[in-house]
Amino acid sequence: MTLTGSRKIALISATAVLLLAGLLLALHFSRDGDRSAREHLLQFVPADATTVIYADLDELRASPFLAELYAWAPHSIEDSEYAQFVHDTGFSYERDLQRVVVSVSNKSTATSIFAVADGKFDRSKIEAFFSRNGKYTQQGKWKVFRLNATANGKPLLFTFLSNDRIAFANYEDFSAALSAAPSDSYHAEWNSRFARLAGSPLFTVIRQDPEMQNVLNAVAPGGFQSPQLSALLAQLQWISIAGKPDGDQLRVIADGESVAPSVTSQLNEFLQGVLLLAQNGLNDPKLRQTMNPEERQTYLELLKSADVQKIDRGEWKSVRVLLEITPKFLDIARLASTSTPDQTSAAPKSAQKPAAMAKSKSRKKK
Protein backbone atom coordinates (compact mmCIF):
# COMPACT_ATOMS: atom_id res chain seq x y z
CA MET A 1 0.00 0.00 0.00
CA THR A 2 1.46 3.35 -1.08
CA LEU A 3 0.28 6.79 -0.04
CA THR A 4 1.23 9.62 -2.39
CA GLY A 5 0.58 13.21 -1.45
CA SER A 6 -0.93 14.83 1.58
CA ARG A 7 -4.52 14.09 0.69
CA LYS A 8 -4.09 10.36 1.03
CA ILE A 9 -2.64 10.86 4.48
CA ALA A 10 -6.24 11.66 5.41
CA LEU A 11 -7.19 7.99 5.04
CA ILE A 12 -7.90 7.68 8.73
CA SER A 13 -10.70 10.24 8.37
CA ALA A 14 -12.74 7.95 6.09
CA THR A 15 -15.04 6.89 8.90
CA ALA A 16 -15.57 10.54 9.84
CA VAL A 17 -16.46 11.39 6.25
CA LEU A 18 -19.01 8.57 6.26
CA LEU A 19 -20.54 9.97 9.41
CA LEU A 20 -20.80 13.45 7.88
CA ALA A 21 -22.40 11.92 4.80
CA GLY A 22 -24.95 10.34 7.12
CA LEU A 23 -25.80 13.76 8.53
CA LEU A 24 -26.27 15.22 5.05
CA LEU A 25 -28.58 12.33 4.16
CA ALA A 26 -30.68 12.96 7.26
CA LEU A 27 -30.88 16.69 6.50
CA HIS A 28 -31.67 16.07 2.84
CA PHE A 29 -34.64 13.84 3.59
CA SER A 30 -35.86 16.20 5.35
CA ARG A 31 -35.26 19.19 21.49
CA ASP A 32 -37.50 17.92 22.89
CA GLY A 33 -34.79 15.37 22.09
CA ASP A 34 -35.35 13.57 25.36
CA ARG A 35 -34.40 9.94 25.80
CA SER A 36 -37.93 8.54 25.60
CA ALA A 37 -38.65 10.31 22.29
CA ARG A 38 -35.37 9.02 20.87
CA GLU A 39 -36.05 5.46 21.96
CA HIS A 40 -39.60 5.58 20.62
CA LEU A 41 -38.39 6.69 17.21
CA LEU A 42 -35.81 3.90 17.09
CA GLN A 43 -38.51 1.29 17.69
CA PHE A 44 -39.78 1.98 14.16
CA VAL A 45 -36.66 0.35 12.68
CA PRO A 46 -37.92 -2.39 10.28
CA ALA A 47 -36.97 -6.01 10.81
CA ASP A 48 -34.97 -6.16 7.57
CA ALA A 49 -32.97 -2.96 8.16
CA THR A 50 -29.25 -3.10 7.42
CA THR A 51 -28.37 0.53 8.20
CA VAL A 52 -29.89 3.00 10.66
CA ILE A 53 -29.07 6.73 10.79
CA TYR A 54 -30.28 8.86 13.70
CA ALA A 55 -29.97 12.64 14.10
CA ASP A 56 -31.22 14.94 16.84
CA LEU A 57 -31.28 18.10 14.75
CA ASP A 58 -32.32 20.41 17.57
CA GLU A 59 -29.22 19.44 19.55
CA LEU A 60 -27.01 19.67 16.48
CA ARG A 61 -28.33 23.12 15.58
CA ALA A 62 -27.26 24.36 19.00
CA SER A 63 -23.66 23.34 18.26
CA PRO A 64 -21.13 25.72 16.65
CA PHE A 65 -19.78 22.70 14.76
CA LEU A 66 -22.97 22.36 12.71
CA ALA A 67 -22.50 25.89 11.42
CA GLU A 68 -18.97 24.92 10.37
CA LEU A 69 -20.24 21.74 8.71
CA TYR A 70 -23.03 23.62 6.91
CA ALA A 71 -20.46 26.08 5.56
CA TRP A 72 -18.27 23.15 4.44
CA ALA A 73 -21.00 21.17 2.68
CA PRO A 74 -22.02 21.92 -0.93
CA HIS A 75 -25.28 23.86 -1.28
CA SER A 76 -27.81 23.68 -4.05
CA ILE A 77 -29.85 26.69 -5.04
CA GLU A 78 -33.26 26.60 -3.40
CA ASP A 79 -35.79 25.70 -6.11
CA SER A 80 -39.10 27.45 -6.61
CA GLU A 81 -41.15 24.37 -5.65
CA TYR A 82 -39.55 24.15 -2.22
CA ALA A 83 -39.92 27.91 -1.70
CA GLN A 84 -43.62 27.57 -2.54
CA PHE A 85 -43.94 24.65 -0.13
CA VAL A 86 -42.41 26.68 2.72
CA HIS A 87 -44.71 29.61 1.90
CA ASP A 88 -47.88 27.47 1.81
CA THR A 89 -47.17 25.20 4.79
CA GLY A 90 -44.93 27.30 7.04
CA PHE A 91 -42.58 24.31 7.38
CA SER A 92 -38.85 24.52 6.68
CA TYR A 93 -36.83 21.36 7.35
CA GLU A 94 -33.72 23.45 8.17
CA ARG A 95 -35.66 25.11 11.00
CA ASP A 96 -38.53 22.84 12.03
CA LEU A 97 -37.30 19.25 11.72
CA GLN A 98 -36.37 18.04 15.22
CA ARG A 99 -35.37 14.36 15.14
CA VAL A 100 -35.15 11.81 12.34
CA VAL A 101 -34.33 8.12 12.07
CA VAL A 102 -33.62 6.74 8.58
CA SER A 103 -33.58 2.97 8.02
CA VAL A 104 -32.04 1.49 4.89
CA SER A 105 -32.66 -2.11 3.86
CA ASN A 106 -30.27 -3.38 1.19
CA LYS A 107 -31.69 -6.46 -0.46
CA SER A 108 -30.53 -8.46 -3.43
CA THR A 109 -33.04 -6.80 -5.76
CA ALA A 110 -33.61 -3.33 -4.33
CA THR A 111 -32.82 -0.81 -1.61
CA SER A 112 -35.72 0.26 0.60
CA ILE A 113 -35.82 3.40 2.73
CA PHE A 114 -38.13 3.93 5.69
CA ALA A 115 -37.88 6.96 7.98
CA VAL A 116 -39.75 8.57 10.84
CA ALA A 117 -39.28 12.21 11.82
CA ASP A 118 -40.51 14.52 14.56
CA GLY A 119 -40.99 18.20 13.89
CA LYS A 120 -43.08 21.33 14.17
CA PHE A 121 -45.72 20.61 11.54
CA ASP A 122 -48.94 22.39 10.64
CA ARG A 123 -50.66 19.16 9.63
CA SER A 124 -53.74 20.72 8.06
CA LYS A 125 -51.67 23.04 5.84
CA ILE A 126 -49.25 20.29 4.79
CA GLU A 127 -52.02 17.80 3.96
CA ALA A 128 -53.92 20.51 2.07
CA PHE A 129 -50.80 21.35 0.07
CA PHE A 130 -50.21 17.75 -1.03
CA SER A 131 -53.90 17.14 -1.65
CA ARG A 132 -53.80 20.01 -4.17
CA ASN A 133 -50.45 19.09 -5.70
CA GLY A 134 -50.34 15.31 -5.67
CA LYS A 135 -52.08 12.00 -5.20
CA TYR A 136 -52.94 10.19 -2.00
CA THR A 137 -54.48 6.89 -0.99
CA GLN A 138 -56.09 5.67 2.21
CA GLN A 139 -54.27 2.73 3.79
CA GLY A 140 -56.15 1.73 6.90
CA LYS A 141 -56.14 4.77 9.19
CA TRP A 142 -53.27 6.42 7.30
CA LYS A 143 -53.62 8.90 4.46
CA VAL A 144 -50.56 8.24 2.29
CA PHE A 145 -49.31 10.99 -0.04
CA ARG A 146 -47.11 10.44 -3.09
CA LEU A 147 -44.34 13.04 -3.39
CA ASN A 148 -42.93 14.45 -6.58
CA ALA A 149 -39.61 12.76 -5.77
CA THR A 150 -37.92 9.37 -5.94
CA ALA A 151 -35.40 7.43 -3.84
CA ASN A 152 -33.35 4.73 -5.54
CA GLY A 153 -35.61 4.95 -8.57
CA LYS A 154 -38.81 4.39 -6.61
CA PRO A 155 -41.50 6.97 -5.70
CA LEU A 156 -41.26 8.54 -2.25
CA LEU A 157 -44.38 8.54 -0.08
CA PHE A 158 -45.23 9.95 3.34
CA THR A 159 -47.96 9.95 5.96
CA PHE A 160 -48.68 11.59 9.30
CA LEU A 161 -48.46 9.26 12.30
CA SER A 162 -49.51 12.12 14.59
CA ASN A 163 -49.60 15.90 14.41
CA ASP A 164 -45.88 16.13 15.17
CA ARG A 165 -44.59 12.92 13.59
CA ILE A 166 -44.38 11.78 9.96
CA ALA A 167 -43.14 8.66 8.21
CA PHE A 168 -41.84 8.36 4.67
CA ALA A 169 -40.67 5.47 2.49
CA ASN A 170 -39.90 4.52 -1.08
CA TYR A 171 -42.34 1.62 -1.23
CA GLU A 172 -46.11 1.42 -1.48
CA ASP A 173 -47.30 -0.70 1.45
CA PHE A 174 -47.08 1.74 4.35
CA SER A 175 -49.73 -0.09 6.31
CA ALA A 176 -47.72 -3.32 6.44
CA ALA A 177 -44.53 -1.49 7.42
CA LEU A 178 -46.22 0.43 10.24
CA SER A 179 -48.13 -2.60 11.50
CA ALA A 180 -45.18 -4.98 11.48
CA ALA A 181 -43.71 -5.62 14.91
CA PRO A 182 -40.09 -6.83 14.89
CA SER A 183 -39.35 -9.53 17.45
CA ASP A 184 -37.98 -8.68 20.89
CA SER A 185 -34.75 -10.50 20.10
CA TYR A 186 -34.35 -8.44 16.92
CA HIS A 187 -34.86 -5.18 18.83
CA ALA A 188 -32.51 -6.36 21.58
CA GLU A 189 -29.63 -6.68 19.10
CA TRP A 190 -30.14 -3.15 17.77
CA ASN A 191 -31.01 -1.62 21.15
CA SER A 192 -27.78 -2.81 22.74
CA ARG A 193 -25.88 -0.81 20.09
CA PHE A 194 -28.22 2.18 20.36
CA ALA A 195 -27.73 2.22 24.15
CA ARG A 196 -23.96 2.64 23.76
CA LEU A 197 -24.63 5.73 21.64
CA ALA A 198 -27.14 7.34 24.00
CA GLY A 199 -25.02 10.46 24.47
CA SER A 200 -24.55 11.08 20.73
CA PRO A 201 -27.04 13.26 18.82
CA LEU A 202 -25.84 11.75 15.54
CA PHE A 203 -25.01 8.13 14.76
CA THR A 204 -25.08 5.38 12.15
CA VAL A 205 -25.35 1.66 12.94
CA ILE A 206 -24.70 -0.85 10.16
CA ARG A 207 -25.49 -4.53 10.35
CA GLN A 208 -23.39 -6.66 7.97
CA ASP A 209 -24.32 -4.64 4.89
CA PRO A 210 -22.37 -5.61 1.72
CA GLU A 211 -23.05 -2.15 0.29
CA MET A 212 -20.84 -0.75 3.05
CA GLN A 213 -17.74 -1.52 1.00
CA ASN A 214 -19.06 0.53 -1.92
CA VAL A 215 -19.86 3.45 0.38
CA LEU A 216 -16.40 3.42 1.96
CA ASN A 217 -14.74 3.28 -1.45
CA ALA A 218 -16.89 6.21 -2.59
CA VAL A 219 -15.98 8.45 0.38
CA ALA A 220 -12.33 7.43 0.76
CA PRO A 221 -10.20 10.59 0.51
CA GLY A 222 -7.87 11.14 -2.39
CA GLY A 223 -9.37 8.24 -4.35
CA PHE A 224 -7.79 5.77 -1.88
CA GLN A 225 -9.06 2.19 -2.03
CA SER A 226 -7.66 -0.69 0.00
CA PRO A 227 -8.68 -4.28 -0.81
CA GLN A 228 -7.31 -5.32 2.58
CA LEU A 229 -9.48 -2.82 4.46
CA SER A 230 -12.54 -3.72 2.38
CA ALA A 231 -12.01 -7.42 3.10
CA LEU A 232 -11.73 -6.80 6.84
CA LEU A 233 -14.80 -4.56 6.94
CA ALA A 234 -16.79 -7.21 5.06
CA GLN A 235 -16.14 -9.62 7.95
CA LEU A 236 -17.52 -7.28 10.62
CA GLN A 237 -21.05 -8.11 11.80
CA TRP A 238 -21.69 -4.57 13.12
CA ILE A 239 -20.25 -1.11 12.50
CA SER A 240 -21.27 1.91 14.61
CA ILE A 241 -20.21 5.49 13.88
CA ALA A 242 -21.22 8.30 16.23
CA GLY A 243 -20.56 12.01 16.47
CA LYS A 244 -20.89 14.35 19.42
CA PRO A 245 -20.26 18.09 19.00
CA ASP A 246 -17.93 19.66 21.52
CA GLY A 247 -17.84 23.40 20.92
CA ASP A 248 -16.61 23.94 17.38
CA GLN A 249 -15.26 20.38 17.14
CA LEU A 250 -16.86 17.00 16.51
CA ARG A 251 -15.78 13.93 18.44
CA VAL A 252 -16.15 10.88 16.19
CA ILE A 253 -16.18 7.30 17.43
CA ALA A 254 -16.23 4.35 15.02
CA ASP A 255 -16.68 0.83 16.38
CA GLY A 256 -16.40 -2.41 14.37
CA GLU A 257 -17.60 -5.69 15.92
CA SER A 258 -16.98 -9.32 15.09
CA VAL A 259 -17.23 -12.66 16.87
CA ALA A 260 -13.90 -13.65 15.27
CA PRO A 261 -10.93 -12.35 17.32
CA SER A 262 -8.62 -12.74 14.32
CA VAL A 263 -10.67 -10.19 12.31
CA THR A 264 -10.52 -7.46 14.95
CA SER A 265 -6.83 -8.18 15.61
CA GLN A 266 -6.00 -7.77 11.92
CA LEU A 267 -8.14 -4.62 11.67
CA ASN A 268 -6.46 -3.15 14.74
CA GLU A 269 -3.01 -3.85 13.29
CA PHE A 270 -4.01 -2.39 9.92
CA LEU A 271 -5.32 0.87 11.44
CA GLN A 272 -2.33 1.20 13.75
CA GLY A 273 -0.13 0.77 10.69
CA VAL A 274 -2.02 3.48 8.82
CA LEU A 275 -1.52 5.88 11.72
CA LEU A 276 2.19 5.13 11.86
CA LEU A 277 2.54 5.45 8.09
CA ALA A 278 0.74 8.79 8.12
CA GLN A 279 2.90 10.12 10.96
CA ASN A 280 6.10 9.05 9.20
CA GLY A 281 4.89 10.60 5.97
CA LEU A 282 4.14 13.95 7.58
CA ASN A 283 7.56 13.99 9.23
CA ASP A 284 9.41 13.16 6.02
CA PRO A 285 11.94 15.99 5.41
CA LYS A 286 11.13 16.26 1.70
CA LEU A 287 7.38 16.51 2.38
CA ARG A 288 7.96 19.13 5.06
CA GLN A 289 9.81 21.27 2.54
CA THR A 290 7.03 21.16 -0.03
CA MET A 291 3.81 20.83 2.00
CA ASN A 292 1.86 23.83 3.19
CA PRO A 293 2.69 24.21 6.93
CA GLU A 294 -0.92 24.93 7.93
CA GLU A 295 -2.15 21.84 6.09
CA ARG A 296 0.55 19.69 7.63
CA GLN A 297 -0.24 21.00 11.12
CA THR A 298 -3.93 20.23 10.63
CA TYR A 299 -3.17 16.61 9.71
CA LEU A 300 -0.78 16.31 12.65
CA GLU A 301 -3.52 17.52 15.01
CA LEU A 302 -5.94 14.96 13.54
CA LEU A 303 -3.38 12.18 14.03
CA LYS A 304 -2.67 13.34 17.57
CA SER A 305 -6.37 13.08 18.42
CA ALA A 306 -6.68 9.61 16.86
CA ASP A 307 -6.83 6.62 19.17
CA VAL A 308 -7.26 2.99 18.07
CA GLN A 309 -8.07 0.39 20.69
CA LYS A 310 -9.37 -3.18 21.00
CA ILE A 311 -12.36 -3.87 23.23
CA ASP A 312 -13.46 -7.27 24.55
CA ARG A 313 -17.21 -7.56 25.15
CA GLY A 314 -17.28 -11.26 25.83
CA GLU A 315 -18.54 -12.99 22.68
CA TRP A 316 -18.11 -9.79 20.67
CA LYS A 317 -14.68 -8.31 19.93
CA SER A 318 -14.39 -4.71 18.77
CA VAL A 319 -11.95 -2.20 17.34
CA ARG A 320 -12.73 1.39 18.27
CA VAL A 321 -11.34 4.49 16.55
CA LEU A 322 -11.64 7.96 18.11
CA LEU A 323 -11.05 11.18 16.16
CA GLU A 324 -11.59 14.90 16.68
CA ILE A 325 -12.72 16.80 13.58
CA THR A 326 -11.89 20.51 13.77
CA PRO A 327 -12.94 23.50 11.64
CA LYS A 328 -9.39 23.61 10.27
CA PHE A 329 -9.76 20.05 9.00
CA LEU A 330 -13.02 20.95 7.27
CA ASP A 331 -11.27 23.90 5.63
CA ILE A 332 -8.52 21.63 4.31
CA ALA A 333 -11.06 19.06 3.10
CA ARG A 334 -13.10 21.75 1.35
CA LEU A 335 -10.02 23.14 -0.40
CA ALA A 336 -8.90 19.66 -1.49
CA SER A 337 -12.30 18.70 -2.90
CA THR A 338 -13.37 21.93 -4.57
CA SER A 339 -10.19 23.76 -5.66
CA THR A 340 -10.16 24.97 -9.27
CA PRO A 341 -7.80 27.41 -11.00
CA ASP A 342 -10.16 30.31 -10.28
CA GLN A 343 -10.74 29.30 -6.67
CA THR A 344 -7.05 28.71 -6.10
CA SER A 345 -6.17 32.18 -7.27
CA ALA A 346 -8.78 33.65 -4.94
CA ALA A 347 -7.63 31.65 -1.93
CA PRO A 348 -5.15 32.94 0.65
CA LYS A 349 -1.51 32.42 -0.35
CA SER A 350 -1.03 29.88 2.40
CA ALA A 351 -3.85 27.81 0.93
CA GLN A 352 -2.67 28.16 -2.69
CA LYS A 353 0.61 26.29 -2.25
CA PRO A 354 -0.76 22.70 -2.07
CA ALA A 355 -2.84 23.16 -5.22
CA ALA A 356 0.07 24.77 -7.07
CA MET A 357 2.41 21.96 -6.06
CA ALA A 358 -0.09 19.32 -7.16
CA LYS A 359 -0.30 20.92 -10.62
CA SER A 360 3.49 21.08 -10.86
CA LYS A 361 3.83 17.40 -10.01
CA SER A 362 1.13 16.52 -12.54
CA ARG A 363 3.02 18.34 -15.32
CA LYS A 364 6.26 16.53 -14.45
CA LYS A 365 4.53 13.15 -14.64
CA LYS A 366 3.21 13.98 -18.10
pLDDT at 159 over 90: yes
Q: In the Cβ-directed half-sphere of 173, how many Cα atoms lie within 13 Å?
A: 5
Domain limits, the chain: 7-13+199-214+223-365, 16-184
At 211, the pLDDT band (50, 70, 90 cuts) reads: low
At 154, the pLDDT band (50, 70, 90 cuts) reads: confident
Distance of alpha carbon 256 from alpha carbon 69, whole angstroms: 25
pLDDT computed for residue 215 by the predictor: 61
Q: Which has the closest alpha carbon to 320: 224, 246, 253?
A: 253
Query: How is residue 7 annotated by DSSP?
Result: G
| 269 vs 216, residue with greater confidence | 269
User: Which residues does 29 contact at the CB level (< 8 Å), separation at least 6?
Assistant: 100, 102, 113, 115, 117, 168
- pTM of the model as a whole: 0.76
Do residues 201 and 56 make contact, with C-beta atoms less than 8 angstroms apart? Answer: yes
pLDDT computed for residue 263 by the predictor: 94
pLDDT computed for residue 73 by the predictor: 65
Give residue 342's identity as a one-letter amino acid code: D
pLDDT computed for residue 237 by the predictor: 92
- Taking only the tens place, the pLDDT of each residue in 102-133 is 999 887 677 889 999 999 999 999 999 988 87
Distance of alpha carbon 329 from alpha carbon 72, whole angstroms: 10
